[in-house]
Structure 1
Amino acid sequence: MISYDQALERLLAHTRRLPGESRSPVDSLGCVLARDVRSPMDLPSFDHAAMDGYALSARQPLAAGSEHLVVGSQAAGDAARASQGIACEIMTGARLPDGLDAVVAVERTQWLARGDDGTPARIRLLDTLAAGYNVRYAGSDVAKGALVVAAGTRIEPAHVMLLAALGVTSVEVVRQPRVAIIGTGKELLADPTQPLADEQIHHSNGPYLRAAFAAAGVQVLSCETLDDTASHYREAVVRAREAGADLIVSTGAVSMGRYDFVPDTLQTLGAELLFHKVAIRPGKPMLAAMLGDATLVLALPGTPMAVAVGFRFFAAPVLRAWAGQGSEAVLHAVLDTPQQAKPGLRHFLRARLGQGSDGRLHASLLKLQQPFRIQPFAEAGAWVLLGEDAGDCLPGMLVEIASLHPGGPLSVSTIRDMNCQGTPI
Structure 2
Amino acid sequence: MTTVNQAEKLILAQLKDYGTESLPFEQTPGRVLAEPIKADRDLPPFNRVTMDGIAVSYLAITNGITTFKIKATQAAGDEPAAINQPNECIEIMTGAVLPASVDTVIRYEDVDINGGLATLKVVDIRQGQNLHLQGADKKQGAILASVGQMVTPAIISLAASVGKADLSVKKMPRVVIISSGDELVPVNQIPSLYQIRASNSYTIQAVLQQHALRPDIIHIPDDPEVTRQQIQHCLQNYDVLLLSGGISMGKFDYIPQALEDSAVEKVFHKVAQRPGKPFWFGRHGNGAVVFAFPGNPVATFMCVHKYFLNWLRAVLGLPEQAPMYAVLDKDFQFLPELQYFLQVKLQSNPQGQLVALPIEGNGSGDFANLADTDAFLELPLEKSDFKKGEVFKVLKF
TM-score, normalising length: structure 2 = 0.93
Aligned partner of 1:214: which letter? Q
Indicate the residue corresponding to 1:20 in structure 2. Answer: 20
Indicate the residue corresponding to 2:298 in structure 1. Answer: 305
Distance 1:60 1:291, change over 3 A: farther
- Distance in 1 (CA, whole Å) between partners of 2:10 and 2:291 is 12
**Which runs of 5 or more structure 2 residues have no equivalent in the other structure?**
none
Is residue 61–residue 128 contact of structure 1 (8 Å, CA) maintained in 2? no
Aligned partner of 2:182: which letter? K
Equivalent residue for 1:227, pick from 205, 221, 232: 221
Q: Deviations over 1:197-250 (max 9, x none)?
A: 2221111111212222222211313x22223333222111122123x2110011
Is residue 43–residue 139 contact of structure 1 (8 Å, CA) maintained in 2? yes
**Which runs of 5 or more structure 1 residues have no equivalent in the other structure?**
115-119, 405-425
Aligned partner of 2:219: which letter? T
* Count of residue correspondences: 395
RMSD of aligned alpha carbons: 2.2
Indicate the residue corresponding to 1:124 in structure 2. Answer: 120
Is residue 59–residue 130 contact of structure 1 (8 Å, CA) maintained in 2? no
- Distance in 1 (CA, whole Å) between partners of 2:161 and 2:380 is 46
% same residue: 29
- Distance in 2 (CA, whole Å) between partners of 1:62 and 1:395 is 68
Is residue 35–residue 146 contact of structure 2 (8 Å, CA) maintained in 1? yes
- Distance in 2 (CA, whole Å) between partners of 1:238 and 1:174 is 26
Equivalent residue for 1:274, pick from 261, 267, 278: 267
Aligned partner of 1:203: which letter? A
Per the TM alignment, residue 390 of structure 1 is displaced from its structure 2 partner at its CA by 4.5
Is residue 19–residue 174 contact of structure 1 (8 Å, CA) maintained in 2? yes
Which 4+ residue blocks in structure 1 deviate beyond 4 angstroms? 59-65
- Distance in 2 (CA, whole Å) between partners of 1:267 and 1:60 is 87
Q: Deviations over 1:5-35 (max 9, x none)?
A: 1111111111113211111211212222222
Indicate the residue corresponding to 2:170 in structure 1. Answer: 174
Per the TM alignment, residue 123 of structure 1 is displaced from its structure 2 partner at its CA by 2.1
Is residue 176–residue 218 contact of structure 1 (8 Å, CA) maintained in 2? yes
Indicate the residue corresponding to 2:131 in structure 1. Answer: 135
- Distance in 2 (CA, whole Å) between partners of 1:225 and 1:265 is 15
Is residue 345–residue 356 contact of structure 2 (8 Å, CA) maintained in 1? yes
Per the TM alignment, residue 276 of structure 1 is displaced from its structure 2 partner at its CA by 0.8
Indicate the residue corresponding to 1:326 in structure 2. Answer: 319
Indicate the residue corresponding to 1:47 in structure 2. Answer: 47
Equivalent residue for 2:282, pick from 278, 281, 289: 289
Q: Deviations over 1:302-322 (max 9, x none)?
A: 111111112111111121122
Per the TM alignment, residue 374 of structure 1 is displaced from its structure 2 partner at its CA by 0.9
Counterpart mapping for 1:25-424 below 5 A = 25-58=25-58, 62=62, 66-84=66-84, 86-111=88-113, 114=115, 120-189=116-185, 191-221=186-216, 223-242=217-236, 244-342=237-335, 344-368=337-361, 370-404=363-397
Distance 1:23 1:259, change over 3 A: same
Q: Deviations over 1:170-195 (max 9, x none)?
A: 21111122111111222111x23323
Is residue 176–residue 219 contact of structure 1 (8 Å, CA) maintained in 2? no
Distance 1:60 1:81, change over 3 A: closer
- Distance in 2 (CA, whole Å) between partners of 1:308 and 1:182 is 14
Q: Secondary structure at the match of 1:219?
A: coil
Q: Deviations over 1:33-73 (max 9, x none)?
A: 22222222222211121111011222697599833343222
TM-score, normalising length: structure 1 = 0.87
